[in-house]
Structure 1
Amino acid sequence: MQVALLTVGDELLSGDTENTNATWLARQLSGRGVAVKRIAVVPDEVSVIAEHVSKYSTAFDATLVTGGLGRTPDDVTMDGVARAFDRSLQPNELARADIEQTVAALAERRPNLSFDIEIETEAAIPENARPLINDAGLSPGCVLETVYVLPGIPEEMRSMFTSVADEFAGEVQTRVLYTNDPESNLVGTLTDARDRFDVGVGCYPNRDAGHNRLKLSGTDKSALETAESWLRDRVTVVEE
Protein backbone atom coordinates (compact mmCIF):
# COMPACT_ATOMS: atom_id res chain seq x y z
CA MET A 1 0.00 0.00 0.00
CA GLN A 2 1.38 3.39 -1.04
CA VAL A 3 0.03 6.63 0.40
CA ALA A 4 0.55 10.38 0.25
CA LEU A 5 0.24 12.85 3.11
CA LEU A 6 -1.04 16.35 2.39
CA THR A 7 -0.85 18.85 5.24
CA VAL A 8 -2.68 22.13 4.79
CA GLY A 9 -1.96 25.43 6.48
CA ASP A 10 -0.31 28.80 6.00
CA GLU A 11 1.00 28.45 9.54
CA LEU A 12 3.01 25.39 8.50
CA LEU A 13 4.59 27.18 5.56
CA SER A 14 5.51 30.22 7.65
CA GLY A 15 7.04 28.12 10.41
CA ASP A 16 4.57 29.37 13.00
CA THR A 17 3.47 25.77 13.64
CA GLU A 18 5.64 22.67 13.52
CA ASN A 19 4.30 19.99 11.18
CA THR A 20 4.01 17.25 13.77
CA ASN A 21 0.98 15.76 12.01
CA ALA A 22 3.02 14.60 9.02
CA THR A 23 5.71 13.04 11.22
CA TRP A 24 3.20 11.27 13.45
CA LEU A 25 1.13 9.93 10.56
CA ALA A 26 4.19 8.77 8.64
CA ARG A 27 5.39 6.88 11.70
CA GLN A 28 1.98 5.27 12.27
CA LEU A 29 1.64 4.21 8.65
CA SER A 30 5.19 2.94 8.33
CA GLY A 31 4.63 0.87 11.44
CA ARG A 32 1.73 -0.79 9.63
CA GLY A 33 3.88 -1.67 6.63
CA VAL A 34 2.52 1.15 4.49
CA ALA A 35 4.91 2.98 2.15
CA VAL A 36 4.61 6.76 2.51
CA LYS A 37 5.61 8.07 -0.91
CA ARG A 38 4.83 11.79 -0.61
CA ILE A 39 4.58 14.39 2.11
CA ALA A 40 3.49 17.84 0.96
CA VAL A 41 2.58 21.11 2.66
CA VAL A 42 0.21 23.48 0.87
CA PRO A 43 -1.33 26.86 1.77
CA ASP A 44 -4.92 27.57 2.74
CA GLU A 45 -5.95 27.96 -0.89
CA VAL A 46 -8.83 25.90 -2.25
CA SER A 47 -7.41 25.62 -5.76
CA VAL A 48 -4.00 24.42 -4.56
CA ILE A 49 -5.54 21.86 -2.21
CA ALA A 50 -7.79 20.58 -4.99
CA GLU A 51 -4.87 20.32 -7.41
CA HIS A 52 -2.82 18.18 -5.03
CA VAL A 53 -5.74 16.00 -3.97
CA SER A 54 -6.63 15.32 -7.61
CA LYS A 55 -3.06 14.35 -8.42
CA TYR A 56 -2.41 12.20 -5.37
CA SER A 57 -5.77 10.43 -5.35
CA THR A 58 -5.02 8.89 -8.75
CA ALA A 59 -1.32 8.21 -8.10
CA PHE A 60 -1.53 6.44 -4.74
CA ASP A 61 -3.67 3.89 -2.94
CA ALA A 62 -4.75 6.48 -0.37
CA THR A 63 -4.22 10.13 0.45
CA LEU A 64 -4.45 11.52 3.97
CA VAL A 65 -5.22 15.23 4.23
CA THR A 66 -4.93 17.19 7.47
CA GLY A 67 -5.97 20.81 7.89
CA GLY A 68 -8.51 23.21 9.32
CA LEU A 69 -12.03 21.78 9.23
CA GLY A 70 -13.93 24.53 11.05
CA ARG A 71 -15.66 27.54 9.57
CA THR A 72 -13.08 30.30 10.13
CA PRO A 73 -11.82 31.95 6.91
CA ASP A 74 -8.66 29.84 6.78
CA ASP A 75 -10.49 26.53 7.28
CA VAL A 76 -10.77 25.60 3.61
CA THR A 77 -9.47 22.01 3.64
CA MET A 78 -12.87 20.41 3.11
CA ASP A 79 -13.67 22.91 0.35
CA GLY A 80 -10.49 21.97 -1.50
CA VAL A 81 -11.21 18.25 -1.29
CA ALA A 82 -14.78 18.79 -2.46
CA ARG A 83 -13.55 20.77 -5.46
CA ALA A 84 -11.06 18.04 -6.37
CA PHE A 85 -13.99 15.65 -6.87
CA ASP A 86 -16.42 18.25 -8.19
CA ARG A 87 -18.74 17.67 -5.24
CA SER A 88 -20.84 20.12 -3.28
CA LEU A 89 -20.66 20.38 0.52
CA GLN A 90 -23.80 19.00 2.17
CA PRO A 91 -24.76 18.69 5.86
CA ASN A 92 -24.37 15.09 6.95
CA GLU A 93 -26.99 13.69 9.31
CA LEU A 94 -24.58 11.67 11.43
CA ALA A 95 -22.18 14.60 11.73
CA ARG A 96 -25.03 16.98 12.56
CA ALA A 97 -26.27 14.76 15.38
CA ASP A 98 -22.79 14.46 16.85
CA ILE A 99 -22.18 18.22 16.67
CA GLU A 100 -25.53 18.92 18.35
CA GLN A 101 -24.57 16.61 21.21
CA THR A 102 -21.12 18.22 21.50
CA VAL A 103 -22.56 21.74 21.54
CA ALA A 104 -25.15 20.76 24.15
CA ALA A 105 -22.44 19.28 26.35
CA LEU A 106 -20.35 22.44 25.98
CA ALA A 107 -23.28 24.63 26.92
CA GLU A 108 -23.92 22.53 29.99
CA ARG A 109 -20.30 22.73 31.11
CA ARG A 110 -19.94 26.45 30.30
CA PRO A 111 -23.37 27.99 31.01
CA ASN A 112 -21.95 31.52 31.16
CA LEU A 113 -20.67 31.41 27.58
CA SER A 114 -22.66 31.82 24.40
CA PHE A 115 -21.65 29.49 21.57
CA ASP A 116 -22.36 30.90 18.12
CA ILE A 117 -22.01 27.71 16.10
CA GLU A 118 -23.67 27.18 12.73
CA ILE A 119 -24.34 23.48 13.08
CA GLU A 120 -25.50 22.98 9.49
CA THR A 121 -22.29 24.53 8.18
CA GLU A 122 -20.07 22.64 10.62
CA ALA A 123 -21.70 19.35 9.61
CA ALA A 124 -21.07 19.86 5.89
CA ILE A 125 -18.85 17.37 4.06
CA PRO A 126 -18.56 16.53 0.34
CA GLU A 127 -21.67 14.92 -1.08
CA ASN A 128 -21.75 11.12 -0.66
CA ALA A 129 -18.60 11.11 1.50
CA ARG A 130 -18.37 8.87 4.56
CA PRO A 131 -18.30 11.01 7.73
CA LEU A 132 -15.63 10.58 10.38
CA ILE A 133 -16.86 11.69 13.78
CA ASN A 134 -14.56 14.03 15.71
CA ASP A 135 -14.61 12.49 19.19
CA ALA A 136 -11.93 14.93 20.40
CA GLY A 137 -13.38 18.08 18.86
CA LEU A 138 -16.26 19.46 16.82
CA SER A 139 -15.91 19.42 13.03
CA PRO A 140 -16.16 16.03 11.29
CA GLY A 141 -13.67 14.56 8.86
CA CYS A 142 -14.60 12.30 6.01
CA VAL A 143 -13.53 9.64 3.53
CA LEU A 144 -14.14 10.40 -0.14
CA GLU A 145 -13.10 7.53 -2.40
CA THR A 146 -9.42 7.05 -1.44
CA VAL A 147 -8.99 10.40 0.32
CA TYR A 148 -9.14 10.65 4.12
CA VAL A 149 -9.72 14.14 5.52
CA LEU A 150 -8.60 14.65 9.11
CA PRO A 151 -8.45 17.70 11.42
CA GLY A 152 -5.35 19.84 11.63
CA ILE A 153 -5.38 20.03 15.44
CA PRO A 154 -2.98 17.22 16.44
CA GLU A 155 -5.07 15.80 19.28
CA GLU A 156 -8.16 15.64 17.08
CA MET A 157 -6.22 14.25 14.11
CA ARG A 158 -4.72 11.43 16.17
CA SER A 159 -8.06 10.49 17.69
CA MET A 160 -9.77 10.41 14.30
CA PHE A 161 -6.96 8.43 12.68
CA THR A 162 -7.38 5.66 15.24
CA SER A 163 -10.94 5.19 13.98
CA VAL A 164 -9.66 4.33 10.48
CA ALA A 165 -6.20 2.97 11.27
CA ASP A 166 -7.20 -0.60 10.50
CA GLU A 167 -7.93 0.44 6.91
CA PHE A 168 -4.21 0.91 6.34
CA ALA A 169 -1.92 -2.09 5.97
CA GLY A 170 1.07 -2.93 3.82
CA GLU A 171 3.88 -5.41 3.34
CA VAL A 172 6.92 -3.21 3.95
CA GLN A 173 9.13 -4.52 6.74
CA THR A 174 12.20 -2.97 8.30
CA ARG A 175 15.35 -3.96 10.17
CA VAL A 176 17.44 -1.47 12.16
CA LEU A 177 21.06 -1.70 13.24
CA TYR A 178 23.29 0.77 15.06
CA THR A 179 26.99 1.21 14.43
CA ASN A 180 29.70 3.61 15.52
CA ASP A 181 31.60 3.09 12.26
CA PRO A 182 32.07 6.45 10.48
CA GLU A 183 29.47 7.10 7.80
CA SER A 184 32.16 7.57 5.16
CA ASN A 185 33.42 4.04 5.86
CA LEU A 186 29.96 2.57 5.29
CA VAL A 187 29.30 3.79 1.76
CA GLY A 188 30.63 0.75 -0.11
CA THR A 189 29.12 -1.78 2.28
CA LEU A 190 25.67 -0.20 2.23
CA THR A 191 25.73 0.10 -1.55
CA ASP A 192 26.61 -3.58 -1.84
CA ALA A 193 23.79 -4.53 0.55
CA ARG A 194 21.29 -2.57 -1.51
CA ASP A 195 22.44 -4.08 -4.81
CA ARG A 196 22.90 -7.67 -3.59
CA PHE A 197 19.59 -8.07 -1.80
CA ASP A 198 17.34 -5.51 -3.51
CA VAL A 199 16.39 -3.81 -0.26
CA GLY A 200 16.10 -0.17 0.72
CA VAL A 201 19.11 1.07 2.68
CA GLY A 202 19.35 4.22 4.77
CA CYS A 203 22.05 5.65 7.01
CA TYR A 204 21.02 8.24 9.59
CA PRO A 205 23.75 9.81 11.75
CA ASN A 206 23.00 10.66 15.37
CA ARG A 207 25.93 12.78 16.43
CA ASP A 208 24.61 13.28 19.97
CA ALA A 209 24.54 9.52 20.52
CA GLY A 210 27.76 8.97 18.58
CA HIS A 211 26.40 6.31 16.26
CA ASN A 212 24.74 5.78 12.88
CA ARG A 213 21.33 4.18 12.52
CA LEU A 214 21.17 1.77 9.59
CA LYS A 215 17.72 0.95 8.26
CA LEU A 216 16.89 -1.85 5.83
CA SER A 217 13.43 -2.00 4.27
CA GLY A 218 11.60 -4.19 1.79
CA THR A 219 8.68 -6.52 1.21
CA ASP A 220 10.68 -9.77 1.04
CA LYS A 221 11.21 -11.01 4.59
CA SER A 222 13.83 -13.55 3.56
CA ALA A 223 15.85 -10.96 1.66
CA LEU A 224 15.71 -8.61 4.64
CA GLU A 225 16.92 -11.27 7.06
CA THR A 226 19.75 -12.24 4.73
CA ALA A 227 20.74 -8.62 4.21
CA GLU A 228 20.71 -7.97 7.94
CA SER A 229 22.91 -10.99 8.65
CA TRP A 230 25.29 -10.02 5.84
CA LEU A 231 25.53 -6.47 7.17
CA ARG A 232 26.15 -7.58 10.74
CA ASP A 233 29.24 -9.43 9.54
CA ARG A 234 30.64 -6.27 7.97
CA VAL A 235 29.93 -3.42 10.37
CA THR A 236 30.55 -2.86 14.05
CA VAL A 237 27.09 -3.26 15.58
CA VAL A 238 26.42 -1.48 18.88
CA GLU A 239 23.41 -1.11 21.16
CA GLU A 240 21.16 1.90 20.65
Structure 2
Amino acid sequence: MRVALVTVGDEILAGDTVNTNAAWLGRQLAERGVDVDRVTVVPDRVGEIARLVNEQRAEFDAVIVTGGVGPTHDDVTMDGVAAAFGRELEESEAALQWLAEEGGYVREELADGTAALPAGGEFIRNPNGVAPGCNIGNVYVLPGVPDEMKGMFEVIAEDFTGVDRFTATVEADEPESALIDRLIEVQEQFGVTVGSYPGETVRLKIQGEDEGAVADAKQWLAEQVEIPE
Protein backbone atom coordinates (compact mmCIF):
# COMPACT_ATOMS: atom_id res chain seq x y z
CA MET A 1 0.00 0.00 0.00
CA ARG A 2 1.38 3.40 -1.06
CA VAL A 3 0.32 6.48 0.87
CA ALA A 4 0.88 10.22 0.48
CA LEU A 5 0.81 12.60 3.43
CA VAL A 6 -0.38 16.18 2.95
CA THR A 7 0.06 18.74 5.73
CA VAL A 8 -1.86 22.00 5.46
CA GLY A 9 -0.61 25.10 7.22
CA ASP A 10 1.00 28.47 6.57
CA GLU A 11 2.64 28.22 10.00
CA ILE A 12 4.64 25.15 8.94
CA LEU A 13 5.83 26.78 5.72
CA ALA A 14 6.87 29.85 7.72
CA GLY A 15 8.87 27.71 10.14
CA ASP A 16 6.69 28.68 13.10
CA THR A 17 5.59 25.06 13.66
CA VAL A 18 7.49 21.81 13.16
CA ASN A 19 5.70 19.16 11.10
CA THR A 20 5.60 16.50 13.80
CA ASN A 21 2.34 15.06 12.43
CA ALA A 22 3.98 13.77 9.25
CA ALA A 23 6.84 12.20 11.22
CA TRP A 24 4.44 10.47 13.60
CA LEU A 25 2.18 9.21 10.83
CA GLY A 26 5.19 7.99 8.88
CA ARG A 27 6.29 5.84 11.81
CA GLN A 28 2.80 4.48 12.41
CA LEU A 29 2.31 3.56 8.77
CA ALA A 30 5.77 2.02 8.44
CA GLU A 31 5.01 -0.20 11.43
CA ARG A 32 1.91 -1.39 9.58
CA GLY A 33 3.98 -2.26 6.50
CA VAL A 34 2.69 0.71 4.51
CA ASP A 35 4.95 2.72 2.19
CA VAL A 36 4.82 6.49 2.64
CA ASP A 37 5.99 7.67 -0.76
CA ARG A 38 5.28 11.39 -0.51
CA VAL A 39 5.11 14.10 2.17
CA THR A 40 3.96 17.56 1.06
CA VAL A 41 3.18 20.80 2.88
CA VAL A 42 0.72 23.22 1.32
CA PRO A 43 -0.52 26.67 2.40
CA ASP A 44 -4.00 27.43 3.70
CA ARG A 45 -5.37 28.02 0.21
CA VAL A 46 -8.33 26.12 -1.19
CA GLY A 47 -7.01 25.94 -4.74
CA GLU A 48 -3.60 24.59 -3.69
CA ILE A 49 -5.19 21.95 -1.47
CA ALA A 50 -7.67 20.89 -4.17
CA ARG A 51 -5.00 20.59 -6.86
CA LEU A 52 -2.63 18.53 -4.75
CA VAL A 53 -5.29 16.22 -3.33
CA ASN A 54 -6.71 15.63 -6.79
CA GLU A 55 -3.28 14.70 -8.15
CA GLN A 56 -2.28 12.48 -5.28
CA ARG A 57 -5.54 10.58 -4.86
CA ALA A 58 -5.08 9.40 -8.44
CA GLU A 59 -1.45 8.38 -7.89
CA PHE A 60 -1.55 6.72 -4.47
CA ASP A 61 -3.65 4.10 -2.72
CA ALA A 62 -4.54 6.60 0.00
CA VAL A 63 -3.94 10.23 0.94
CA ILE A 64 -3.93 11.46 4.53
CA VAL A 65 -4.45 15.20 4.93
CA THR A 66 -3.81 16.89 8.29
CA GLY A 67 -4.37 20.44 9.43
CA GLY A 68 -6.78 23.25 8.67
CA VAL A 69 -9.82 21.41 10.03
CA GLY A 70 -12.35 23.39 12.03
CA PRO A 71 -14.79 26.30 11.85
CA THR A 72 -12.34 29.25 11.93
CA HIS A 73 -11.60 31.53 8.98
CA ASP A 74 -8.30 29.86 8.04
CA ASP A 75 -9.56 26.28 8.35
CA VAL A 76 -10.08 25.63 4.65
CA THR A 77 -8.96 22.03 4.25
CA MET A 78 -12.47 20.60 3.97
CA ASP A 79 -13.24 23.20 1.28
CA GLY A 80 -10.15 22.15 -0.65
CA VAL A 81 -10.88 18.43 -0.39
CA ALA A 82 -14.49 19.00 -1.41
CA ALA A 83 -13.30 20.96 -4.45
CA ALA A 84 -10.94 18.12 -5.39
CA PHE A 85 -13.96 15.83 -5.66
CA GLY A 86 -16.23 18.43 -7.26
CA ARG A 87 -18.47 18.44 -4.18
CA GLU A 88 -20.02 21.04 -1.92
CA LEU A 89 -19.70 21.15 1.84
CA GLU A 90 -22.75 20.12 3.84
CA GLU A 91 -23.54 19.65 7.51
CA SER A 92 -22.95 16.05 8.57
CA GLU A 93 -25.85 14.75 10.62
CA ALA A 94 -23.66 11.88 11.83
CA ALA A 95 -21.06 14.34 13.11
CA LEU A 96 -23.65 16.55 14.80
CA GLN A 97 -25.27 13.54 16.44
CA TRP A 98 -21.96 12.23 17.72
CA LEU A 99 -20.95 15.63 19.08
CA ALA A 100 -24.26 15.91 20.91
CA GLU A 101 -24.53 12.36 22.22
CA GLU A 102 -20.90 11.39 22.79
CA GLY A 103 -19.11 14.70 23.01
CA GLY A 104 -21.62 16.37 25.28
CA TYR A 105 -21.97 19.44 23.07
CA VAL A 106 -25.18 21.38 22.47
CA ARG A 107 -25.86 21.67 18.73
CA GLU A 108 -27.01 25.25 18.94
CA GLU A 109 -23.79 26.28 20.70
CA LEU A 110 -21.44 24.83 18.09
CA ALA A 111 -19.79 27.34 15.76
CA ASP A 112 -21.15 27.46 12.21
CA GLY A 113 -19.30 25.02 9.98
CA THR A 114 -18.06 22.76 12.78
CA ALA A 115 -19.66 19.70 11.18
CA ALA A 116 -19.33 20.76 7.53
CA LEU A 117 -17.90 17.90 5.45
CA PRO A 118 -17.64 17.25 1.70
CA ALA A 119 -20.95 15.90 0.42
CA GLY A 120 -20.91 12.11 0.48
CA GLY A 121 -17.95 11.97 2.84
CA GLU A 122 -17.95 9.64 5.81
CA PHE A 123 -17.63 11.25 9.23
CA ILE A 124 -14.64 10.20 11.36
CA ARG A 125 -15.09 10.78 15.08
CA ASN A 126 -12.59 12.85 17.02
CA PRO A 127 -11.91 11.16 20.39
CA ASN A 128 -9.89 14.13 21.67
CA GLY A 129 -11.64 17.18 20.30
CA VAL A 130 -14.56 18.78 18.49
CA ALA A 131 -13.56 19.05 14.82
CA PRO A 132 -14.70 15.93 12.95
CA GLY A 133 -12.59 14.17 10.36
CA CYS A 134 -13.71 12.84 7.02
CA ASN A 135 -13.08 9.95 4.64
CA ILE A 136 -14.07 10.47 1.02
CA GLY A 137 -12.87 8.04 -1.61
CA ASN A 138 -9.27 7.22 -0.72
CA VAL A 139 -8.70 10.55 1.06
CA TYR A 140 -8.68 10.87 4.84
CA VAL A 141 -8.84 14.30 6.49
CA LEU A 142 -7.59 14.62 10.08
CA PRO A 143 -7.11 17.61 12.41
CA GLY A 144 -3.74 19.29 12.76
CA VAL A 145 -3.69 19.36 16.57
CA PRO A 146 -1.33 16.44 17.30
CA ASP A 147 -3.35 14.90 20.13
CA GLU A 148 -6.53 15.01 18.05
CA MET A 149 -4.77 13.72 14.94
CA LYS A 150 -3.31 10.76 16.82
CA GLY A 151 -6.62 9.83 18.40
CA MET A 152 -8.42 10.02 15.08
CA PHE A 153 -5.78 7.97 13.30
CA GLU A 154 -6.38 5.15 15.78
CA VAL A 155 -10.02 5.16 14.63
CA ILE A 156 -9.01 4.52 11.00
CA ALA A 157 -5.72 2.65 11.48
CA GLU A 158 -7.17 -0.68 10.33
CA ASP A 159 -7.73 0.82 6.87
CA PHE A 160 -3.95 0.89 6.40
CA THR A 161 -2.25 -2.46 5.98
CA GLY A 162 0.80 -3.63 4.09
CA VAL A 163 3.51 -6.25 4.06
CA ASP A 164 5.19 -7.25 7.32
CA ARG A 165 8.72 -5.92 7.49
CA PHE A 166 11.58 -6.69 9.84
CA THR A 167 14.32 -4.29 10.84
CA ALA A 168 17.70 -4.41 12.52
CA THR A 169 20.38 -1.79 13.14
CA VAL A 170 24.15 -1.70 13.16
CA GLU A 171 26.26 1.22 14.41
CA ALA A 172 29.36 1.96 12.34
CA ASP A 173 32.26 4.09 13.52
CA GLU A 174 33.30 5.10 9.99
CA PRO A 175 32.44 7.96 7.62
CA GLU A 176 29.24 7.35 5.70
CA SER A 177 31.02 7.73 2.37
CA ALA A 178 33.46 4.95 3.28
CA LEU A 179 30.62 2.44 3.72
CA ILE A 180 29.12 2.64 0.24
CA ASP A 181 30.64 -0.53 -1.23
CA ARG A 182 29.64 -2.66 1.76
CA LEU A 183 26.12 -1.26 1.80
CA ILE A 184 25.68 -2.14 -1.85
CA GLU A 185 27.04 -5.63 -1.23
CA VAL A 186 24.82 -6.42 1.76
CA GLN A 187 21.72 -5.35 -0.15
CA GLU A 188 22.61 -7.47 -3.16
CA GLN A 189 23.66 -10.49 -1.13
CA PHE A 190 20.72 -10.66 1.28
CA GLY A 191 17.89 -8.93 -0.63
CA VAL A 192 17.40 -6.21 2.00
CA THR A 193 17.44 -2.42 1.98
CA VAL A 194 19.80 -0.35 4.11
CA GLY A 195 19.40 3.25 5.18
CA SER A 196 22.31 5.18 6.65
CA TYR A 197 21.86 7.94 9.22
CA PRO A 198 25.04 9.84 10.17
CA GLY A 199 25.64 11.39 13.56
CA GLU A 200 28.40 10.77 16.06
CA THR A 201 28.39 7.32 14.48
CA VAL A 202 26.52 6.08 11.40
CA ARG A 203 23.35 4.15 12.19
CA LEU A 204 22.63 1.55 9.53
CA LYS A 205 19.01 0.45 9.38
CA ILE A 206 18.47 -2.90 7.66
CA GLN A 207 14.97 -3.70 6.47
CA GLY A 208 13.36 -6.62 4.65
CA GLU A 209 10.36 -8.90 4.43
CA ASP A 210 12.35 -12.04 5.40
CA GLU A 211 13.23 -12.06 9.10
CA GLY A 212 16.06 -14.54 8.59
CA ALA A 213 17.60 -12.52 5.79
CA VAL A 214 17.53 -9.39 7.93
CA ALA A 215 19.24 -11.21 10.79
CA ASP A 216 21.90 -12.64 8.46
CA ALA A 217 22.48 -9.23 6.90
CA LYS A 218 22.93 -7.66 10.34
CA GLN A 219 25.49 -10.28 11.33
CA TRP A 220 27.39 -9.91 8.05
CA LEU A 221 27.40 -6.13 8.18
CA ALA A 222 28.48 -6.04 11.83
CA GLU A 223 31.51 -8.09 10.83
CA GLN A 224 32.38 -5.79 7.92
CA VAL A 225 32.31 -2.38 9.61
CA GLU A 226 34.13 -0.79 12.52
CA ILE A 227 31.91 -0.98 15.59
CA PRO A 228 32.06 1.84 18.18
CA GLU A 229 33.85 0.85 21.38
TM-score by length of 1: 0.86
Residue 152 (structure 2) aligns with: 160
Partner of 2:58: 58
User: Is the aligned partner of 1:117 residue 2:111?
Assistant: yes
* Structure-1 residue corresponding to 2:18: 18
Secondary structure at 2:98 match in 1 = helix
Q: Over aligned residue pairs, what C-alpha RMSD do you find?
A: 2.3
Provide the residue aligned with 2:173 in structure 1: 180
Distance 2:106 2:174 in 1: 57
Give the match's secondary structure for 2:224: coil
Gaps of 5+ in 1: 108-113
3-state SS in 1 of match to 2:221: helix
Pairwise CA distance, 1:238: 5.4
* 1:200 Cα offset (Å): 2.1
* Counterpart for residue 93 of structure 2: 93
CA separation of 1:18 and 1:102: change in aligned 2, threshold 3 A: farther
Q: How much does 1:60 deviate? A: 1.1
Letter in 2 for 1:199: V
Choose from 145, 152, 161 the match for 2:137.
145
Q: What corresponds to 1:110 in structure 2?
A: none
Identity in percent: 46
Separation of aligned partners in 2, 1:221 and 1:129: 40
**One-letter amino acid of the counterpart of residue 175, structure 1:** A
Query: Bigger CA drift: 39-48 or 193-202?
Result: 193-202
Q: Distance in 1 between matches of 2:119 and 2:67?
A: 19
Task: Please give the per-residue CA displacement for 1:150-187, whole angstroms capped at 9, x wherever unaligned.
Answer: 00111110110011112212115232222223323312
How many residue pairs match? The answer is 228
Say yes or no: does 1:234 pair with 2:227.
no
- Deviations, residues 27-64 of structure 1 (Å, cap 9, x unaligned): 11111111110000000111111111111111111111
Unaligned runs of 5+ in 2: none
